[in-house]
Structure 1
Amino acid sequence: MTERYAIYYAPASNDPLWRLGCEWLGRDPAAGVIDHRPPGIEAAELDSLTVSARRYGFHATMKAPMILAPGTDRAELEQALADFTRNHTAFDVGQPVLRLIDGFLALVLDPQPHRLTDFAGTCVTVFERFRAPMAADDRASRVSKGLSERQVALLDQYGYPYVLEQFRFHMTLSDRLPEAWKAPLTDLATDWFAPILMKPLQIDRLALFHQPEAGAAFTRLADFPLPSAHEL
């Protein structure tokens, strides 16, 4: 079975950031319906620059997509997510900014709060028991992309190289861009996301996403809100 589950941060479905992100990518992993697209670029042109990002959906990775380990199932994972979020509070992380990362356009945090790095690391370790071992060909493909020695070690331990101190929060808005599109698409995204770029972002939930088979689009299955500090 090749279905995979991922634990992401994603804004609430009624959050303006979620709407803007989904309309930018041309797909809503929760509702599926998109009525509006960014002005200044043909939808087909934008779609051609966001193929992979659209398939994964608008999100920031906390626990990378994984095949479930033998002996575990979705119900157990959802219960573990409910237990986990019940014992962690929501927190602000500052204002997101647009950056090009290795040719990809993304919303990031600069600086990235230590609390967020620690929280993401806890997600990786706590939910590691649900991850099936990585296939040898998947590992070889990852290693071939020029990982550092530390990143290879993290890949072997957690199935993903960009975790713990290597983690960088990002909400991907494109695939790797041709040089000619880097500046124009950044300008378009700056205008499109302007309403939210001046507002602080709050990590207030984790969302469970699901990919039914290799190459399929991820869907948003369920949200697990983090309580505010006064609710604990």
Structure 2
Amino acid sequence: MMRVGIYWAPRIDDPLHELGSTWLGRDTETGATLPQPALPGLDIAELTRDARGYGLHATLKPPFRLATSYAALREDAMALALRTRPFALPPLQLAEHHGFLALLETQRSDDLQALCDACVAGLDAHRAPPTEEEIARRKPERMTEAQRQNLHRWGYHYVFSEWWFHVTLSRRLNEAEMAVVRPALEAHLGDVPAQPRRVTELCLFTQAGPAAPFLLAERLPLLG
């Protein structure tokens, strides 16, 4: 069954789109497979497999199965975009986060948090509730009480105050892998993550089935 995620993704004319897509080996805009840079002694395709499947993005509303229809979701997402003004995204930086390499905000953004919260709550009528198996895979026994409540109410535990902006660029790495991958990725990205950019769109990503990669279906401009 198709899943939909509401994401931030770099604009097509942002050099981060090309660099990030090349690193992951896939362009979510076109679905094209891209040649990845070489890593000495490591298989970059394996290190980026999961991130490549999800595509270059930061999650606003986590992927969910539709309880309504794509057209109904799009209508409400467009209404949200129409009342949201574009805003500055804080400079990004490459960092280790729970063992993964990801682009993170250099400072918290109230505008970004507000947009994320509006997506989670305002579009939730379109989300089919998770199955018991899906809940079990999240391992709720390892969560805080607040996270368990989020999981059961919103289908995901990292929402609202538990959410953070991140663009995942690797799987979890061990110390030896990190010593190779991080400097290579820093060299690949250069100063592009820190360049000024604005959040001007909501991006709707779709996944045709459980084994399918996510594709960018639409960019909805923020027009508030």
TM (normalized to structure 2)? 0.94
Equivalent residue of 2:17, what SS?
A: helix
- 1:67-123 deviation digits (Å, cap 9, x = unpaired): 001xx1011111111111011011112210111111111000022212211221111
The Cα shift of 1:43 comes to 11
Structure 1 residues 83 and 177 mapped into 2: Cα distance closer, same or farther (>3 Å)? same
Q: Which residue of 2 aligns with 1:77?
A: 73
AA partner of residue 212 (structure 2): A
Equivalent residue of 2:22, what SS?
A: helix
1:179 pairs with one of 175, 182, 186: 175
Q: Which residue of 2 aligns with 1:140?
A: 136
Taking only aligned residues, the RMSD between alpha carbons, in angstroms, comes to 1.8
The Cα shift of 1:36 comes to 4.8
Q: Which residue of 2 aligns with 1:169?
A: 165
Alignment partners' CA distance in 1, 2:32 and 2:45: 15
- 1:125-152 deviation digits (Å, cap 9, x = unpaired): 0011110011001111113572211111
Alignment partners' CA distance in 1, 2:15 and 2:91: 14
Q: For structure 1, which segment, 12-21 or 205-214, has the greater mean C-alpha deviation from structure 2 after superposition?
A: 12-21
2:117 pairs with one of 112, 116, 121: 121
Matched residues, percent identical? 33
Provide structure 1 residue ranges, at least 5 long, that are not aligned to the other structure: none
TM (normalized to structure 1)? 0.91
Alignment partners' CA distance in 2, 1:80 and 1:63: 13
Alignment partners' CA distance in 1, 2:57 and 2:118: 18
Q: Which residue of 1 aligns with 2:6?
A: 7
Contact 2:39-2:180 at 8 Å conserved across structures: no
Paired residue total = 224
AA partner of residue 152 (structure 2): D
Alignment partners' CA distance in 1, 2:52 and 2:86: 27
Q: Which residue of 2 aligns with 1:57?
A: 55
Contact 1:96-1:201 at 8 Å conserved across structures: no
Runs of 4+ with >6 A deviation: none
Provide structure 2 residue ranges, at least 5 long, that are not aligned to the other structure: none
- 1:23-79 deviation digits (Å, cap 9, x = unpaired): 0100011112355533x526981111011100000000011110001xx10111111
Q: For structure 1, which segment, 171-180 or 58-67, has the greater mean C-alpha deviation from structure 2 after superposition?
A: 171-180
